[in-house]
Amino acid sequence: MRLHRLALVVVVALKAAGCGLATDDEVKVLLPAPPVPWQIAFPRLGFRVVTLDARKGVRERNVDDWRAPPVVTCARSVNSPILAYPRETGLADSAAAGDLRPAGGFYPLSLRACQGGEVLELTWEDGPAALVMSRASARGLDVSLFNVSKLRRYLQEHGDPWAMDLDAISQKVALGVLTAWDIDTLPCRDVEVEPGPGTWFLESPFSPSFEAAHGKVVLTGVSLGCHRLFSLAGTSWRVAVGEQETALVRAP
């Protein structure tokens, strides 16, 4: 990706125990429409909305219908991250949809005025940044002092921000040493697999659809590591992409 010469301004501080002034707030959350392939493969797709309260406790709420904005509790503090993980309504969390990447947003950065009040709008584009800040918060970072707007912008400059090295970014953020030079993609390559006939897609909401020719699919620009390959029919495979070899294993 194109690297920025301007360093990412990061101002961090560890919160002293008992000194936080944040309180809880109840907000209505607007969930994003799932990509069309997801809706076809998972007709009962919902979300598990995860927030942090003022004591950094994890709050979760399952939402069966993504079209109905739920009300959730989150910390009334700057940059409080909110994540919405796709899930299949009525099925266990270990079901296939649990591998789909989450949407995300921030309180109050993602608040939008609407008829009858305000809603906090979650987007697929903000999922990676919200995950990074959630991990950094778990490591003790006071996320209210971090330049989240700039991080969001840098991540969204890539066509698929889930192909970024989010683990390394999270560690740098938590340590307070992140610069724009640290925001880079994971190693990736094209791979050919043979999952069978049909239309296939990977776990990212930004993944294109791949048509199988004679049961084979060429996945372009896939990052090294573990992925899940889904078909519109609801079947899926685990794909482990190494530097030289690729393993394909039928998923449950």
pLDDT tens string 40-74: 999 999 999 999 998 889 999 999 999 999 999 99
Sorted by where each begins, the domain ranges of the chain are: 23-182, 188-250
Q: Sheet with 103-107: list strands edge to edge.
A: 58-63, 45-52, 80-88, 103-107
Separation CA 195–CA 210 (nearest Å): 11
pLDDT of residue 115: 78
What SS3 class is residue 184?
coil
Residue 97's pLDDT band (cuts 50, 70, 90)? confident
Separation CA 139–CA 127 (nearest Å): 19
Exposure class string for 180-211: b at 16+ Cβ within 10 A, else e: bebbeebebeebebebeeebbbbbbbbbeebe
What SS3 class is residue 247?
strand
pLDDT of residue 95: 60
- Average pLDDT estimate for 111-131: 93
pLDDT of residue 251: 87
Residue 1's pLDDT band (cuts 50, 70, 90)? very low
**pTM of the predicted model, to two decimals?**
0.88
Q: How high does pLDDT run on average in the chain?
A: 88
Q: Answer yes or no: are the C-beta atoms of 126 and 112 closer than 8 Å.
A: no
